[in-house]
Amino acid sequence: MSLALRDCYRERGHQALLFSSRALYGTLPVEADHTCFGTVSPLRQVLRVANLSAWHGIRKVVSAFRPDIVHVRMLTTQLSPIILPALRGYPTIYHACWHEPICPIGLKMLPDMSPCEYSAGIECWRQGCVSASGWTGLLFQLRLFKHWRGDFRRVVANSHYLKERLGEDAWNDVEVIWNGVPDVEQRPALENQPIIGFAGRLTPEKGTNDLVDAFAILHKQMPEARLVFVGDGPDRLLLERKCASLGISESVQFTGSLSREASNAILNQVWVQAVPSICQESFGLVAAEAQMRGTALVATRRGALPEIIADGETGLLVDASCPTKLAEALLKIVRNKDLAERFGRAGRLRAMDNFRLDDCVSSFLDLYSRVLVEDRSDSVSGELS
């Protein structure tokens, strides 16, 4: 999303730079214009509280580039809140795209995969979300974040769900701008072999284990169906072993990490895309992308997914952590090609009306303009006084 915003701003004639850490979470290269030190080693816990490389790098970049506005996203995983004082003097907005301002692990989910209803504090340690050794640092990080949040001219959430969660922790006056996805051609007409698709990281919170269980149930009733996982992650080997133990390996494909073009080529063939998330999704980008392609969806009622998917119109919503219900919903669609096509057409219309990247970019540019007008007005008032 950060890369997409930067590139779209440039296409519209604006100068835009992207700053990030050099930490690699997968195989894809870092494409930022300027970077600072970052790591996925245990040292990351220190960097999250105070990344001096990020502070120094940010100061250097803004001093040379002198931006009209600064757009901050995903601050706490590597860069740390100490970069915020370096941005003073520049109108800055904060774009919340997950739970990082209110949760040390960013997921608002307990170790047993149930939603977390606690405020950040001692319960983060008591519930086992963070270790005793890491608890102090992570809570100090959140305290720094809250201390400097007044420096933001605007706070934007990527969903109404996230806005509500932020409001519960006194993050008020939050605007909502839904994420946007690139326009793509509508997928071709469905072939005869029913295919279920998944796109994303193969991690527990994404519900991939439930999806394998659901497909095993479905496969007994519809042996010709296939399941394809597009993406990679730490759970891939465990999932492959589980498929083997359930006797469904021949019907399940794991593609690994792919380029956007290669991913779309595969996902264009699926009858229905599953989004079985257990975590509270702050938006659900893969759901919006699926609808843009014209693909039916089955997803869990977690986080913002009910905002993205119109239940019974563009897909079906089911309870999380319930493979039986997930299997029933998937089976309903893969048994009925006409229903899959109807959901897909409605989904594409919904995506074109609500989730176009161009519209998202326009919304942010409008926000920047409003902030800059206010900034100039404040400057004039200060001079007159």
Q: For residues 224-237, b (16+ Cβ closer than 10 Å) or e, as one string? A: ebbbbbbbbbebbe
Going by pLDDT thresholds of 50, 70 and 90, the confidence category of residue 136 is: confident
Beta carbons within 10 angstroms of residue 39's beta carbon: 15
Percent of all residues in the chain with a pLDDT value above 90, rounded to a whole number: 79
The DSSP 8-state label assigned to residue 249 in this structure reads: G
Residues 320, 280: Cα–Cα separation, whole Å: 10
Residue 135's contacts (CB-CB under 8 Å, 6 or more residues apart) are: 104, 124, 125
| pLDDT tens-place string over residues 26-72 | 667 889 999 999 998 888 888 889 999 999 999 999 999 999 999 99
Q: What CA–CA distance (Å, rounded) separates 77 from 152?
A: 19
Instruction: For the domain made up of 195-354, give the CATH fold.
Output: Rossmann fold (3.40.50)
Superfamily of domain 2-180+357-384: Glycogen Phosphorylase B; (3.40.50.2000)
Alpha helices in 247-356 (DSSP H): 260-267, 285-293, 305-308, 323-334, 337-354
How far, in Å, CA of 6 to CA of 1, rounded? 9
Q: Which residues, in sequence order, are bridge partners of residue 229?
A: 198, 254
Q: What is the pLDDT of residues 75-102, one digit of tens each?
A: 998 999 999 999 999 999 999 999 999 9
Listed in sequence order, the residues at least 6 apart from 340 whose beta carbon sits closer than 8 Å to its beta carbon are 190, 271, 272, 296, 333, 334
CATH 3.40.50.2000 domain span(s) along the chain: 2-180+357-384, 195-354
Structure tokens at 245: 């133990």
CA quadruple 4, 48, 113, 173: dihedral sign: negative
Work out the burial of residue 219: count CB atoms within 10 Å of its CB; fewer than 13 is exposed, 13-18 middle, 19 or more buried. buried
